[in-house]
Amino acid sequence: MKIFDYINHINYNIVRKKLFRREVEASYYSQKNIKLPAYDKIKGDELQQIKETFPFTFFSSDEEKVRLKNTLELIEDTAEVIKKAGAVLRNEYLLPGKQLLSPGENIKWNYDYAAKYEWEKSLSWMLDFTDAPVGVDIKNTWYIARFHQGIILSRAYFLTGNEKYTSHFLNLFKDFISSNRFCTGVNWIKTSEVSIRLINVLFSFGFFINSSLVDENIYNTLFDFVLHHTLFIENNLEYAGKRGSSYLVNLLALTAAGIFLKRSYYGKKNIEFAYSGFEQEMREQVHEDGVSYEQSVPLHSVLLEVFYLGKTLLTREGFSFTELYNEKLKLMFEVQSAYLRDDNSVPQIGDAIVGRILPINILNEQPDYSSVMAAGAYLFKEPKFKDAEKEVTPEVVLMFGVNAADEYKSIRIEKNNSSSGFVKGGHYILKDDNLHLFIEAGEIGKRGLGAPGHNDTFSFELFYMDENIIVDPGTYSIYADNVLRNKFRSVKNHNTAYVDDEELSELDGLFKIKDDITKPKLIEWRSNKEEDFLSIQHYGYARLTDPVIVKRNFHYHKAQKIIEIRDEFIGGDVHKVVAGFLFHPNIKLISIGENTYTASGRHSNIKLQIKGSSVSLKSSVTTSLFSEGYGKIEETKRITIMFKEKLPAYVTTQISLE
């Protein structure tokens, strides 16, 4: 840990947190309110001016309001917006994993409706949310408390002017406050969840602020809500020597809170802190080629969203970002563009996500990986980021103003179908007509820390003819089952090889690894009209008594539509080697001969032929587990390859695309 990071670690995680908890506990046990930063409550005659200057409104005049409404009615199905808001009015929620729940008239904010489990209401730092019965997932509880429903209701209110949406939102808002005492219960455990809630509530009020139902009492309640959330966030920052997306979300919340409170020293202080934090984290967390060092492909879209929103909000306040920040932000959009497949999904490499931080495009299915690209197209006027099949998105006109619609439409479209090699981040994407082959050749994650990266070095995903064929196992759940959590992280369930039944790196709890000695090395990368070739090796098994170096080559012959994968194992003794390929449940896998298989989908057919140097080489079809998205789990088929031989040895797999 760098000396600067060590000092901040002592300050944020020990000194400030300890003092904060002492003060909260004193107020908790004495039944007194905690002391908040000083502010004056507004009076009735001040309310109109406050509403007119509310910093999160999406229009500045009645004329602009009409234009914005007309634009939104043109670019999205307003009936679907109303329908979605109607579900919120009925308190119907779609949990991660697509489970629909109906809590009834009153929401139990500390309840996992999927597992029918209620969390204890005690001080949040006294709760161990990882020690719950199998099947209980704290994310189900957090998801409802993110207040994404506020964005949905506010959008319906803007389109219709019907105060029933305002009324329901305010009832939810007040009920949450009364049911979740400051720092009490599971909704005050994780700072990033507190941050997401604050962001969504403030942006929801951006539409509701002009409602007659928002009087001085409601506004003062909002003020109190913002102060409590900001006080919690700044004293419980998710700061570490190797920080990640959670800390970035903290910074975005402090940005929003600082803008809301900018007339005070307290607000200005938080804005300055967030600005410098964003600049620092862009340098620390993002490689020179735009890949996040966390090594989770799904999570990249969250980092991208937070970095661009932070820039957008702070630029409005007069801050200028460095050339390095802007260059890396553009590169992050380029990486996301390469990750995206024809169906707007991304490879499941690393931990899954449950959705966006601020889901302004409310009709997009969550998690939503593609719509953030419209913001990139607008910000950088970059044709490669623009989706030919989509009109300007609500996100663009709401975040950049109604005039952005015409500017966005003027950007030409340029489809990028070339392969990409992000050498620093270790991500390679082999692209061709109807083909998207993603290869993970980077470190495990967070420079040796582990999650959100998995033990998946040299694993890959094959997407062909608009279908997932060879897939990553996914995540399933982070908290619902500790055994399954680490099974989905394990090298043994990825599309790569392992030696002597050993993990690539020893797992340490639900998130960490003991050490990452894989040190992936690029030997060769070339891409042209005729072929793509990647040669890589790692040293994860150099720790064995007889050290083993693992090398893997990918060679795609474009005219023949053949992918050759060659695995080499370099050592000097007898070792057991296991490798495999996991197939999507929709793919029909058939053995048609010794070490020869066909895999067929709705539109795709591939043939796999496996050969090797060992006479003991054998392969078989086995059953394994697959998670298509967070909270989902099902069985699927896997080709398992095995041999025991004195090394060196090799295995080749030829995949013919038909």
Cα(89)–Cα(165) distance, integer angstroms: 7
Average pLDDT over residues 262-280: 95
Comparing 364 with 267, the larger pLDDT belongs to 267
- The answer to the question of residue 452 being in a domain is yes
Confidence band of 7 (pLDDT split at 50, 70, 90)? confident
Q: Are residues 10 and 92 in the same domain?
A: no
Share of the chain above pLDDT 90, in %: 86
**CA–CA distance, 262 with 265 (Å, rounded to integer):** 7
Task: Report the 10 Å Cβ neighbour count for 501.
Answer: 8
Q: Which residues of 519-556 are buried (b: 16+ CB within 10 A; e: fewer)?
A: ebeeeebebeeebbbbbbbbebbbeeeeebbbbbbbbb
Residue pLDDT, tens place only, 394-453: 999 999 999 999 999 999 988 888 999 999 999 999 999 899 999 999 999 988 899 999
Instruction: Please say which residue of 210, 236, 262 terminates a domain.
Output: 236
Q: How far apart, in whole angstroms, are the C-alpha atoms of residue 268 and residue 119?
A: 36
Q: Are residues 29 and 106 in the same domain?
A: no
pLDDT at 102: 85
d(CA 554, CA 655): 11
Amino acid at 655: I
Considering the domain architecture, whether residues 500 and 634 belong to the same structural domain is answered as yes
Is 80 exceeded by the pLDDT of residue 390? no
User: How far lies 125's CA from each of 190, 236, 265, 337, in Å?
Assistant: 10, 11, 29, 40
557 has pLDDT over 70:
yes
Render pLDDT for 612-643 as a digit per residue (tens, 0 to 9). 999 999 999 999 999 999 999 999 999 999 99
Query: Do both 139 and 14 map to the same domain?
Result: no
Confidence of residue 103 (pLDDT cuts 50, 70, 90): confident
Q: Which two tokens stand for residue 606?
A: 């591939």
Based on the fold, state whether residues 80 and 24 are members of the same structural domain.
Answer: no
The mean per-residue pLDDT over the stretch 340-354 comes to 93
Q: How far apart are CA 172 and CA 174, in angstroms?
A: 6
Q: Note whether 454 and 583 are same-domain residues.
A: yes
Angstrom distance (rounded) from CA 380 to CA 360: 20
Whole domain around residue 188: which residue ranges? 61-236
Residue 224, phi then psi, degrees to nearest 5:
-65, -40
Instruction: Please report the sign of the dihedral spanned by the C-alpha atoms of residue 44, residue 45, residue 47, residue 48.
Output: positive
Q: Do 22 and 131 reside in the same domain of the chain?
A: no
Q: 388 in a domain, yes or no?
A: no
487-501 tens-digit pLDDT: 999 999 999 999 999
Closest to 541 measured CA to CA, from 581, 586, 583, 491: 491
Domain-embedded: residue 83: yes
Instruction: State the DSSP string of 180-224.
Output: S-TTBSGGGT-HHHHHHHHHHHHHHHHHHTTSTT--HHHHHHHHH
Question: Which residues, 6+ apart, have CB-to-CB distance to 623 below 8 Å?
Answer: 635, 636, 637, 638
Q: With CA atoms as reference, report the closest residue to 648 among 499, 520, 521, 494.
A: 499
User: Which of 206, 236, 266 delimits the end of a domain?
Assistant: 236
In contact, 238 and 255? CB cutoff 8 Å: no
pLDDT above 70 as % of the chain: 100
Query: What is 452-474 written as a DSSP string?
Result: TS-S-TT-EEEEETTEEEE----
- 136: CATH: 1.50.10.100
How many residues in the chain? 658
Residue 223: CB atoms within 10 A of its CB come to 18
Q: Please report how the helices 245-260 and 191-208 are oriented relative to each other, as an axis angle in degrees rounded to 10.
A: 40
Write out pLDDT tens, residues 19-46: 999 999 999 999 888 988 888 888 878 8
* 4 pLDDT higher than 70: no
pLDDT grade for 368, boundaries at 50, 70 and 90: confident
Among 178, 212, 236, the domain boundary falls at 236
Residue 207, pLDDT > 80, answer yes
Contact 142, 95 (CB under 8 A): no
In the DSSP assignment, the letter for residue 37 is P
CA distance 63 to 5: 49
Has residue 293 been placed in a domain? no
Indicate whether 180 and 88 sit together in one domain.
Answer: yes
What is the Cα gyration radius of the chain?
26
Q: DSSP H helical segments within 31-89, as ranges?
A: 47-52, 62-75, 78-89
Q: By the 8 A CB rule, do 309 and 379 touch?
A: no
Q: Indicate if the pLDDT at residue 389 is higher than 80.
A: no
Q: Looking at residue 322, what is its pLDDT?
A: 98
Mean pLDDT of 521-550: 97
Per DSSP, the three-state class of 267 is: helix
DSSP character at residue 10: I
Q: Are residues 436 and 544 in the same domain?
A: yes
**Domain count of the fold of the chain:** 3
Find out whether the peptide bond into 520 is cis, omega within 30 degrees of 0.
no
Three-state DSSP string of 574-628: EEEEEEEEEECCCCEEEEEECCEEEEECCCCEEEEEEEECCCCCEEEEEEEEECC
Q: Is 394 part of any domain?
A: no
pLDDT at 375 over 90: yes
For residue 368, is it within any domain?
A: no
**Is the dihedral angle over the CA atoms 82, 88, 90, 93 positive or is it negative?**
positive
**Confidence at 11, pLDDT banded by 50, 70, 90:** confident
Here the CATH number for the domain that contains residue 528 is 2.70.98.70
Mean pLDDT on 529-544: 97
pLDDT at res. 45: 84
H-type alpha helices, 402-503: 404-410, 482-489
User: Does one domain contain both 27 and 66?
Assistant: no
Mean pLDDT computed over 598-610: 96
Helices first, then strands: H and E counts in the chain = 18, 23
155 pLDDT above the threshold of 70: yes
Q: How far apart are the first and last CA of the chain?
A: 51
Give me 626's structure tokens.
């697959």
* Chain Cα centroid distance, residue 575: 38
Q: Which residues pair with 580 in a beta bridge?
A: 640
Nearest to residue 352, comparing CAs of 194, 456, 474, 473?
474
- Report the pLDDT value the prediction gives residue 417, as an integer from 0 to 100: 85
Among 231, 217, 195, 189, CA closest to 36: 231
Residue 357 domain flag: no
Question: Quick one: pLDDT at residue 190?
Answer: 97
- Paired with 200 in beta bridges are none
Q: Which residues pair with 148 in a beta bridge?
A: none
The rounded distance, in Å, linking the Cα atoms of 411 and 268 is 36
The C-alpha atoms of residue 599 and residue 597 are separated, in whole angstroms, by 7
Instruction: Identify which of 102, 109, 99, 70 has the alpha carbon closest to the alpha carbon of residue 86.
Output: 102
Residue 572 confidence (pLDDT) above 90: yes
Residue 71 shares a structural domain with residue 27: no
Query: How many CA atoms lie within 13 Å of 363's alpha carbon, on the beta-carbon side?
Result: 16
Same domain, 9 and 75: no
C-beta atoms surrounding 572 within 10 Å: 11
Question: Does residue 321 belong to any structural domain of this protein?
Answer: no
Q: What is the mean pLDDT of the chain?
A: 94
**Residue pLDDT, tens place only, 57-71:** 999 889 999 999 999
